[in-house]
Amino acid sequence: MIGPFTAEAVLVDGYAAGLLVVARALDRLAGRVARPPGSGEESRLETPPWPHSEAGRFHRGIALALVVMAATLVIAEVVRRPDRTGIALAAATLAAAAVTGRRLAGRLRATPAGFPEPECQDK
Amino acid sequence: MIPGTGPGTGPGPGARTGTGTGTGTGTHRGLLVSRRWIQAALLVAVFGFFVMGLLAVRTYTAHPPVPRLVADDAGRPLFTGRDVAEGQRVFLAAGLMQYGSVLGHGGYLGPDYTADYLRRAAAFALRAHGGGDGAREQVRQEFRANRYDPRSGVLTYTRAQADAFAALTEHYRAYFADPRTDRGLRPRAITDPARIHRLTAFLSWTAWIASAERPGETYSYTNDWPAEPLVGNTPTADTVVWSVVSLIALLAGIGALFGAVGRWGGHLGWRGRQAASVDFRSPDEVALTPAQRATAYFFLVVVLLFLAQTLLGGATEHYRADLASFFGLNLAELLPFNLARTWHLQLSLFWVVAAFLGAGVFLAPLMAGREPRGQKALAWTLLAALAVVACGSLIAEGLSIHGLVAPGNFWGSQQFEWLDLPRVWQILLTGGMTLWAVMMWRVLRTTLRSDSRGNLPSMFFLSGLAIPGVYAVGLLARPGDVFTVTDFWRFWVVHLWVEDFLELFTTVMVAYMFVQLGVVRERVALVVVYLDVILYSAGGVIGTMHHVYFSGEPVEHLALGAFFSAMEVVPLTFLTVEAWSFVRLGARQQAESRTPFPHRWAVMFLVAVGFWNFLGAGVFGFLINLPVVSYYEIGTGLTANHAHASMMGVYGMLAVAFCLFALRYLIPSSRWPDKWAKVSFWSLNVGLAWMCFATLLPLGLMQLYEAVSAGYFEARSLAYLTGRAVTMLEWLRLPGDLLFIVGGVLPLCWIAWLGVRHRGREAAPDPVTGATPAPRLSDVREPVDAS
Ligand code: HEM
Ligand SMILES: [Fe+2]
Q: pLDDT per residue over B615-628, tens digit each? A: 999 999 999 999 99
Is the pLDDT at B21 greater than 70? The verdict is: no
Q: How far apart are CA B536 and CA B441, in angstroms?
A: 25
Higher pLDDT, B257 or A33: B257
Give the C-alpha separation, B85 to B536, whole Å: 36
Give the pLDDT of residue B178: 93
pLDDT at A40: 46
Q: Please name the amino acid found at residue B747.
A: P
- What is the tens place of the pLDDT at every residue in B76-95? 999 999 999 999 999 999 99
Q: Tell me which DSSP letter residue B181 carries.
A: -
Pocket of ligand 1 from Cβ distances under 6 Å: B 104-105, 417, 494, 498-499, 546-547, 565, 568-569, 572, 617-618, 621-622, 624-625, 630, 634-635, 639, 642-643, 646-647, 650-651
Sign for the pseudo-dihedral over CA of A49, A50, A51, A53: positive
Instruction: Look at residues B170, B73, B164 and name the one whose alpha carbon lies nearest to residue B127.
Output: B164
Res A1 pLDDT > 50: yes
Residue B335 CA to residue B184 CA, distance in Å, equals 9
Closest CA to ligand 1's atom 35: B625
Taking CA atoms, B392 is separated from B251, B399, B413, B435, in Å, by 47, 11, 12, 18
Find the angle CA(B505)-CA(B507)-CA(B513) to the nearest 5 degrees. Answer: 105
The answer to whether residues B321 and B172 touch, using CB atoms and an 8 Å cutoff, is: no
Query: Looking at the DSSP assignment, which residues form a beta bridge with residue B70?
Result: B79, B155
B-interface mutation test, from A8, A26, A33, A35, most B Cβ less than 10 A away: A33
Q: Chain B residues within 8 A (CB-CB) of chain A?
A: 580-581, 583-584, 586-588, 590-591, 595-597, 600, 603-604, 607-608, 611, 669, 674, 682, 685-686, 689-690, 693-694, 698, 724-725, 728, 732, 735
Distance between A115 CA and the closest CA of chain B, angstroms: 8
Q: Alpha-carbon distance B219 to B234, whole Å?
A: 9
What is the rounded CA–CA span in Å between residue B369 and residue B664?
19
Contacts of A30 in chain B (CB under 8 A): none
* CA–CA separation, B417 and B107 (whole Å): 8
**Better-predicted residue by pLDDT, B365 or B778:** B365
- Residue B3 buriedness (CB in 10 A; 0-12 / 13-18 / 19+): exposed
Q: Inform me whether the C-beta atom of residue A72 falls under 8 Å from chain B C-beta atoms.
A: yes
Q: Cα(B559) to centroid of ligand 2, in Å?
A: 15
pLDDT value at A45 more than 80: no
Query: pLDDT class for B7, splitting at 50, 70, 90?
Result: very low
CA–CA separation, B439 vs B290, rounded Å?
13
Question: How far, in Å, from the CA of B544 to the mean position of ligand 2?
Answer: 5
In Å, the largest CA–CA distance within chain A is: 65
Chain B contact present for A76, CB below 8 A: yes
pLDDT of residue B507: 85
Residues of A in contact with B690 (CB under 8 A): 65, 69
d(CA B37, CA B528): 10
Q: How far is CA B417 from CA B108, B369, B422, B475, in A?
A: 12, 41, 12, 14
Residue B299 has phi, psi (to 5 degrees) of: -70, -30
Mind telling me how many Å the CA of B603 is from chain A's nearest CA?
8
- Does the beta carbon of A17 lie under 8 angstroms from any beta carbon of chain B? no
pLDDT tens digits, B513-569: 888 887 778 888 888 888 888 888 889 999 999 999 999 999 999 999 999 999 988
Percent of chain B with pLDDT over 70: 91
Q: What sign has the CA pseudo-torsion B766, B769, B772, B778?
A: negative
Sign of CA dihedral B701, B707, B708, B712: negative
Secondary structure element (H or E) that encloses residue B465, with its range: helix B456-473
Q: What is the CA radius of gyration of chain B?
A: 27
The candidate with the shortest Cα–Cα distance to A57, out of A44, A68, A48, is A48
Q: Between A and B, how many CB-CB pairs are < 8 A? A: 82
- Residue B445 CB: number of other CB atoms within 10 A? 14
Task: Calculate how close chain A gets to B676, using CA atoms only, in Å.
Answer: 13
| Chain B residue numbers touching A117 (CB-CB < 8 A) | 596
Please tell me if residue A40 touches chain B, with a CB cutoff of 8 Å.
Answer: no
Q: Write out the residues surrounding ion ligand 2, Cβ under 5 A.
A: B 495, 499
Comparing B9-23, B120-134, B550-564, B672-686, the range with the smallest average pLDDT is: B9-23
Out of B639, B653, B692, mutate this one to test ligand 1's pocket (max ligand atoms within 8 Å of CB): namely B639
Q: Are strands B101-102 and B69-71 parallel, antiparallel or unpaired?
A: unpaired
User: Which pLDDT score is estimated for B240?
Assistant: 97
Residues in a beta bridge with B287: B761
Listed in sequence order, the residues at least 6 apart from B540 whose beta carbon sits closer than 8 Å to its beta carbon are: B48, B495, B496, B499, B500, B503, B564, B565, B568
DSSP β-bridge partners for residue B781 = B277
The answer for A 42-61 residues in CB contact with B (under 8 A) is 48-52, 54-55, 58-59, 61
Residue of A nearest to B681 (CA): A58
Q: What is the pLDDT of residue B515?
A: 82
On whether the CB atoms of residues B750 and B349 are closer than 8 A, the answer is no
What is the share, in percent, of chain B residues with pLDDT greater than 90? 72
A118 band by pLDDT with thresholds 50, 70 and 90: low
Distances (CA, A) of B304 to B308, B398, B749: 6, 19, 7
Q: Average pLDDT of B269-286?
A: 71
Which pairing describes strands B154-156 and B69-71: parallel, antiparallel, or unpaired? parallel
Inter-chain touch A58–B595, beta carbons under 8 Å = no
What's residue B24's pLDDT?
Answer: 44
CA distances to A122, B297, B660 from B293, in Å: 26, 8, 14
The DSSP string of B628-641 is HHHHHHTTSHHHHH
Please give the radius of gyration of chain A, using alpha carbons only, rounded to the nearest integer. Answer: 19
Distance from CA of residue B330 to its chain's centroid? 32
What string of DSSP letters covers B714-735? HHTSHHHHTSHHHHHHHHHTHH
Lowest mean pLDDT among A44-53, B195-204, B219-228, B462-471: A44-53
The answer to whether A91 contacts chain B (CB < 8 Å) is no
> Does position B60 have pLDDT exceeding 70, yes or no?
yes
Q: Which residues in chain B are contacts of A63 at CB distance < 8 A?
A: none
Strands B148-149 and B154-156 turn out to be: antiparallel
- Cα B471 to chain centroid distance, Å, stands at 11
Measuring CA to CA, which residue among B329, B105, B73 is closest to residue B226? B105
Query: In this predicted structure, what is the pLDDT of residue B4?
Result: 33
Closest by CA to B125, choosing from B166, B164, B93, B87, is B164
Q: Which atom of ligand 1 is nearest to the CA of B650?
A: 1
* Nearest-CA residue for atom 34 of ligand 1: B625
Q: Using alpha carbons, select from B437, B441, B405, B438 the residue that is nearest to residue B424.
A: B405
Using a 10 angstrom Cβ sphere, with 0-12 exposed, 13-18 middle and 19 or more buried, the burial of residue B593 is buried
Interchain contact, B728 vs A59, CB within 8 Å: no
Q: What is the pLDDT of residue B582?
A: 55
Nearest CA-CA distance, residue B749 and chain A, Å: 21
Contact between chains at B596 and A51 (C-beta distance less than 8 A): no
Average pLDDT of chain B? 90
Distance from CA of A32 to the nearest CA of B (A): 9
Give the per-residue pLDDT at A52. Answer: 77
Mutation test of the interface with chain A: which of B585, B590, B607, B734, choosing the one with the most A Cβ atoms within 10 A? Answer: B607
Q: Quick: pLDDT tens for B679-719.
A: 999 999 999 999 999 999 999 999 999 999 999 999 999 99
pLDDT at residue B10, rounded to an integer: 32
Q: Which amino acid is at B126?
A: L
> H helices within B182-236, ranges in order?
193-211
CB contact under 8 A, B693 and A69: yes
| Rounded distance from Cα B547 to ligand 1 centre (Å) | 8
Q: How many helices (H) and strands (E) does chain B have?
A: 29, 12
The number of residues in chain B equals: 787
Q: Write down the pLDDT at residue A25.
A: 93
SS3 per-residue string spanning chain A: CECCECHHHHHHHHHHHHHHHHHHHHHHHHHHHCCCCCCCHHHHCCCCCCCHHHHHHHHHHHHHHHHHHHHHHHHHHHHHCCCHHHHHHHHHHHHHHHHHHHHHHHHHHCCCCCCCCCCCCCC
Ligand closest to CA B549? 1
* Cross-chain CB nearest to B693 (options A8, A50, A66): A66
Nearest to A54 among B596, B604, B669 (CB): B604
Residue of A nearest to B271 (CA): A37
Phi-psi region of B327 (alpha: psi -120 to 50; beta: other; left: phi over 0): left
Query: What is the least distance, in Å, from the CA of B776 to any CA of chain A?
Result: 21
pLDDT in tens, B203-254: 999 999 999 999 999 999 999 999 999 999 999 999 999 999 999 999 998 8
CB-CB: which of B596, B728, B735 is closest to A121?
B596
Residue nearest to atom 41 of ligand 1 (CA): B634
A76, B732: Cβ pair inside 8 Å? Answer: yes
Distance CA(A69)–CA(A62), nearest Å, equals 10
A-chain residue closest to B689, CA distance: A62
DSSP result, B433-451: HHHHHHHHHHHHHHHHHTB
Q: Supply the pLDDT for residue B593.
A: 67
Higher pLDDT, A37 or B29: B29
Helices (H), B214-272: 237-264
Residue whose CA is closest, atom 23 of ligand 1? B617
